[in-house]
Structure 1
Amino acid sequence: MKTITFDQIKTSSIALEMEEIIPDEIYAWTEDDFAKYQVPIGNSRFPITDFFDITVEGEANGPEEVKMIFNGDLNRVKYIGCKMSAGEIICNGDVDLHVGAEMSGGHIKVNGNAAAHAGREMSGGLLEITGDTKEFTGASYIGEWRGMTGGEIIVYGNAGKQCGECLTGGKIRVKGNCDILAGIHMTKGIIEIDGDVNRWPGGQMKNGNIVIHGFLGRLLEGFVYEGLVEDPEVDGEVFKGKYIKYTGDIGLNGKGSLYLDAEANREKMSEYGEIDDEYTSIREYRNL
């Protein structure tokens, strides 16, 4: 096992682009190799050792035997883990754009917040973010129509707008709240949100599943009420409790499924005359 530690020396006002520094490419590198490497910054390149004190310990026969650890303020370090297929990356600090973008395997853990496009177009592996993410988590890139196709993203905090846009596979789990248009244009996969959702999840979705355990502020008109279901099984996983099930988006003849926790969305049950004494409380909506 090889451990490569990047201890930050100084920051840059222009973001460092780290897409070349992934286990696939540097598993055989020594400290001398890093001393020769120049990292892209804007239209120029600068020695990476100007910004990080790099320590290499152990040996690796392939990327799966590499652990990379970044320590410091990584707010101006982007493309961390971009296109990686194996190995492990740990970021001890907030990170910039595109962490885990197009990754196909391995494990990235961000002990902090992530900027936009975290896990963009990833096809495999596990991306964990202990803080919040900004917009377009697990989404497609600008002008593209295919987002995340496989793997798993876990956000332990809140997620910004259009989380899971154009999702075509894999799973996104948000343990906090989620902003508008989660799962817009999705065709497959699952988005599970533990907290509250601002409004309009699943817009123009054709297939796939969205499970919301918290309160939904507003639902799009393109979703058809299917009824109250108990312990629904979604992609092989059983969600205990009672859920309001919708199908949509009918504007695109969509067959996606949206499940809302019945207790957290008690007032929606009254629209269908199905409220009963069992539901005695409602979570107050928090404006995200």
Structure 2
Amino acid sequence: MLSLKTITLDQIKTSPIALEFDEIIPDEVYTWEKADFEKYMVPIGNSRFPLTDYFTIEVEGDAESADDVKMVINGDCGRVKYIGSKMSAGEIIVNGDADLHCGAEMEGGSITVNGNADSYAGREMRGGSLTITGNTREFCGSSYIGDWRGMSGGTITLHGNAGKQLGECLSGGKIIVKGNCDILAGIHMTKGYIQIDGDVTRWPGGQMKNGDIVVNGELGRLLEGFTQEGIYDDPEIEGEVLSGKYIKYIGDIALNGKGRLWLNAEKNRDKL
């Protein structure tokens, strides 16, 4: 995307109560000028306060649509929730950490967090790309409380470590984790692809019905609901070509599942 309009928010101060940025997405602000941001009141708890209490804003260029917008947020946004939530176009770059629900329900466009992201990053995501250069906490790419529909499209790339229940209820899309992952990755998943390049604590794929989970590092403990099908050389899965030998498991048999769990054989010799 060639950005024609750049919106830059430089943080002045943080708030002990999280700011909510779900209204400040390219879809909504592509026609805004600096004066519009300066009069905008951002939700904080059950009240609203001037955005300019927390950020200075610069606007350069023009946009015919949200596709033409690049938003750059500079500062520690560890107390800024819903960054990029429900966006369908454009680009957001966060040069710092992000709070809860970053990229939640996004449908398109791209978000890059040059830092860590809190829980529920990319939850119920339907399209677009979310890249996090640091770590994220639990429920990345998952469903939300009381729902059974998780991420269904798009791509999440996590360069650090992931917390528990990564991709819970995943029904599509792709999640790539360059670091390690906590328990129950892919629990309840029905479709989609999860690749974890580091180590996994235990129990990936619990109650999964379909989809693929790849573990390139060492798996601490495998669920009993998976049966070994065989060993494969350089398998290609969902467009990803894996290098080396992989042990393929099918499960979770507790749900008559046909999900596929692939373990790097070299790192998991104890499971051969």
Q: TM over 0.5, yes or no?
A: yes
- The 5-angstrom pairing of residues 9-88 of structure 1 reads 9-88=12-91
2:269 — aligned with what?
Answer: 266
- Whether 1:2 aligns to 2:14 is no
Which structure is larger by alpha-carbon Rg, 1 or 2? 1
CA shift for structure 1 position 238 = 2.3
2:67 and 2:174 map into 1 onto residues whose CA distance is: 23
Mapped partners of 2:26, 2:191: distance in 1: 29
Does 141-150 or 231-240 show the bigger shift?
231-240
How many residue pairs get aligned? The number is: 269
Task: Tell me the residue number matched to 1:182.
Answer: 185
CA RMSD, 1 decimal: 0.6
* Amino acid corresponding to residue 219 of structure 2 in structure 1: L
In the TM superposition, 1:1-288 aligns within 5 A as 1-269=4-272
Structure 1 window deviating more from structure 2 (231-240 vs 246-255): it is 231-240
Deviation at 1:105, TM superposition (A): 0.3
Distance in 2 separating the partners of 1:51 and 1:250: 52
Whole-angstrom distance in 1 between the partners of 2:29 and 2:121: 22
Q: List, as ranges, runs of 4+ consecutive aligned residues in structure 1 with deviation greater than 2 Å.
A: none
TM-score, scaled to structure 2? 0.98
Question: What whole-Å deviation, never above 9, does each CA across 1:92-116 have from its counterpart, x for those lacking one?
Answer: 0011000000000001000000000
The normalised TM-score by structure 1 is: 0.93
- Measured after TM superposition, the shift of residue 233 of structure 1 is 2.0
Gaps of 5+ in 2: none
- Amino acid of the structure 2 residue aligned with 1:191: I
Q: Deviations over 1:78-132 (max 9, x none)?
A: 1000000000000000110000000000010000000000001000000000000
1:64 is paired with a residue whose SS is helix
> Secondary structure of 2:168's partner?
coil
Q: Deviations over 1:225-265 (max 9, x none)?
A: 11111111212332121001100000000000000000000
Larger CA deviation: 233-242 vs 176-185: 233-242
Which residue pairs with 1:276 in the alignment?
Answer: none
- AA partner of residue 87 (structure 1): G
Percent of residue pairs identical: 72
Q: State the alpha-carbon separation in 2 of the partners of residues 239 and 41 from structure 1.
A: 46
2: CA distance, partners of 1:237 / 1:194: 13
Q: Aligned-pair distance for 1:24?
A: 0.1
